[in-house]
Amino acid sequence: MPETTWWKRGIVYQIYPRSFQDTNGDGIGDLQGISQRLDYLQWLGVDAIWISPIFPSPMADFGYDVSDYCGIDPIFGTLDDFDRVLEQAHSRNLKVILDFVPNHTSDQHPWFLESRSSRTNPKRDWYIWRDPAPGGGVPNNWISNFGGPAWEWDEATGQYYYHAFLKEQPDLNWRNPEVREAMFDSLRFWLRRGVDGFRVDVIWHLIKDAEFRNNPPNPGYQSHQAEINKYLQVHSADQPEVHDVIAAMRQVLEEYEDRVLIGEIYLPLERLVAYYGKDLSGAHLPFNFQLIQTAWNAHEIEKLVNEYEGVLPDGGWPNWVLGNHDQPRIGARIGKAQARVAAMLLLTLRGTPTMYYGDELGMTKVEIPPESVQDPWEKNEPGLGLGRDPARTPMQWDSSPNAGFTPGEPWLPLAPDFQTCNVEVLSQDSGSVLCLYRRLIDLRRRHLALSIGQYLPVQSGGQVFAYERRHGAERLLIVLNFGHAAQAIDLPDGVGKARVLLSTVRSGDWHVEAGCLDLAPDEGLIVALEEG
């Protein structure tokens, strides 16, 4: 793929549709709301929107339990509404990526209703059914990602079915060729409509161990952790055969021009990069969540970036993610001052960045009263702080009631600071984090060194992480202070002139004398270098 391919040079913006913009007053965002806010996304400067699931669903897991892969849930609107989003986005040069959930369906999907109707039904093998263990009980020790056994007893047919998540989300049997073809036809349904690609949910789960062996105990498990961590997921996910499935999925996208396949994968780097596939036949972008999981200090982040760059396969394009609908917001994890540094990091590293709605406003954790909890994971394992609701609260558009999100009662509470932390207020404050994001995006668009240039590490030390991005004769130095005290670093040898193009905390741009670069606390700088 040439480096000018849109998904290499562009920025992806994730929309959680329930929380983006409501237009009918039911307190839940909808497709007409996304259409209404496309001008904002164009103003911000992103290149693609990824929309979390909008398919028909009983909403046991808010759309990640799909009952029809070729429709739109009435909560969000109609197929006509979706086609309008697609048309209006494309008219603004915005690509549209859909969330595809192939590992499991809803237990209300017609396929599963057939599958559980009898052992002899033609769709019985479309799902994973097993007899009880010798002596009775669940077939093995696999745990649901949301807590409790991953097996649900079906009284009518006398077998268990497997669910990696909720019991309302039975796993499909991707070893069955009929399942593959049915799911690939679902992809084609959306590709024919003009969708530009897919983010594939839990793609590393698609194939399970053929012998259904027990997972080994996790020696590092601690009682405050989620129950899924009791065992190492050796046999229930990340099986070698999954790469053949992903390559076949990629081939479906190759039937259409200029589409992208993104895979959700929570694995260590050395296993993650295998999902690029043999000869890059797998996912174009296996999602790299390491910035979410790594300790926030200069040493660990530098180590991570260099390790990732080192293990990428030849021709594999990197990508970076700071937040999503399953993780605490970046502002909640590292604080508002460092969130500005994180914005510069995300938008200056080599590779495709994915932004999460509201992070550009500096949204943080919103406390959810017990009576307002919606997330099934929090309900299944209360008290462990696993709830995802605090990262899914409504987008804050203005200072009007309910932040301009809905004329009704929002499905989740709003942040208490929405009257000052919103698009309308922050867009008029040149020093705001929103305007910082916009300037970063503009710089990335104007400088090929930032969008498709080389990455070169720079020795720094202390709480400073520095690196260069180069394209042709252009050299840009990025210097990030992860500490809360002022720092100074030497400019690279041979630099005659340097000019600060952007600071995360100071306004304007300025020239720097060759030799030393001063950093304020919690500051990031983008510096243009000239040899001399």
> How far out from the chain centre does Cα 247 lie?
21
**What is the C-alpha separation between 133 and 121, in angstroms, rounded?**
23
**Contact by Cβ (8 Å): 333, 342:** no
User: Distance between CA 352 and CA 284 in Å, rounded?
Assistant: 11
| Catalytic annotation present for 255 | yes
Rounded to an integer, what distance in angstroms lies between the CA atom of residue 261 and that of residue 334? 30
Tell me which residue of 515, 467, 457 sits closest to 491, measured CA to CA.
515
Query: 524-531 and 474-481: which strand pairing?
Result: antiparallel
Which residues are paired to 319 by β-bridges? 352
Give the E-state strand segments of 8-163 in sequence order. 12-15, 48-51, 95-100, 129-130, 151-154, 159-162
Residue 418, judged by CB atoms within 10 A of its CB (0-12, 13-18, 19+), counts as: buried
Q: How far apart are the first and last CA of the chain?
A: 35
Polymer length of the chain: 532
Which listed residue (87, 181, 185, 255) is catalytic? 255
Which position among 201, 264, 381, 522 bears the catalytic label?
A: 201
E strands, 491-532, in order: 495-503, 510-512, 516-519, 524-531
The letter for the amino acid at 518 is D
Q: How many CA atoms lie within 13 A of 319 on its CB side?
A: 31
Read off the tokens for 459.
């020795």
Neighbours of 111 (CB within 10 A): 19
Q: To which H or E segment does residue 107 belong?
A: none
Helix (H, G, I), strand (E, B) or coil at 385: coil
Residues designated catalytic: 201, 255
